[in-house]
Amino acid sequence: MVERKPTAERLSLFSDGVFAIIITILVLELRPPHEASFTALKELWPEGLSYAVSYWFLAVVWINHHHVLRFAETATPRLIWGNFAHLFSVSLIPFTTAWIADSDLGSAPVTLYALVFVAVNVTYLAVCWEAVDRPSHKNSSDRIRRMMRMRSLVTIILFLTAALTAVWFPALGLGIIVFCLLLYVRPDVSEVST
């Protein structure tokens, strides 16, 4: 019998399905106003803001996840388990998004939201380590590996800063979280400049 190695493509397809479910859960938390007026819509600003930020974040996380898995040659057990940990942390986004919306940008929900993104980035680093940083991977340059690692470490620090800031100033904490989005909009930035 021929032994087949698990493919990274299958792992990527599974992950895409999980991301689709997470986005579906996120949108199901949006509830229309009970009144048929634009004034009623205005009162839903916390839900709209937290949904928009979370949807954008999920898009950025998916784009970067997809980008990293391109480098994986096979789905090693470490890559599979790192990916499951990453998907678990990403799956917490709808919960924290709903809590932010229900609390009108409360301190504890924004703090937890930032800590969830610390977990998203830590687990992303684990996926990067296995898919990109492994010494046997010749399809990624040292520059790409350094840039991905550095960007992850910087955003982990920024998310921790956002979590601490949100304890006293939730809106500023959320602003720092949104700023972190900008650092990940282009996952291939290190490749473009080479």
Query: For position 149, what pLDDT does the model report?
Result: 77
Residue 81, H or E segment: helix 77-91
Question: What does the pLDDT read at residue 191?
Answer: 52
Confidence at residue 137, expressed as pLDDT on a 0 to 100 scale: 52
163: pLDDT confidence band, cut at 50, 70 and 90?
very high
Three-class SS of 129-183: HHHHHCCCCCCCCHHHHHHHHHHHHHHHHHHHHHHHHHHHCHHHHHHHHHHHHHH
* CB-CB contact of 110 with 174 (8 Å): yes
Take residue 84 and report the two structure tokens written for it: 């499951």
Helix (H), strand (E) counts: the chain: 9, 0
Q: What integer pLDDT is reported at residue 150 of this predicted model?
A: 82
Q: Is the pTM of this model over 0.75?
A: yes
- 192 — pLDDT class (breaks 50, 70, 90): very low
Per-residue pLDDT at 2 exceeds 70: no
Q: Which pLDDT score is estimated for 178? A: 87
φ, ψ for residue 2, nearest 5 deg: -85, 130
pLDDT in tens, 26-38: 888 888 888 888 8
Check residue 189 and give its pLDDT.
54
Residue 194: per-residue pLDDT: 40
Classify residue 191 by its DSSP letter. H
Q: Does residue 134 have a pLDDT over 60?
A: yes
**pLDDT tens-digit map of 69-96:** 988 888 899 999 999 999 999 999 999 9
Residue 144 scores a pLDDT above 80: no
Question: What is the secondary structure of 40-89 as a DSSP string?
Answer: HHHTTHHHHHHHHHHHHHHHHHHHHHHHHHTT-SS--HHHHHHHHHHHHH
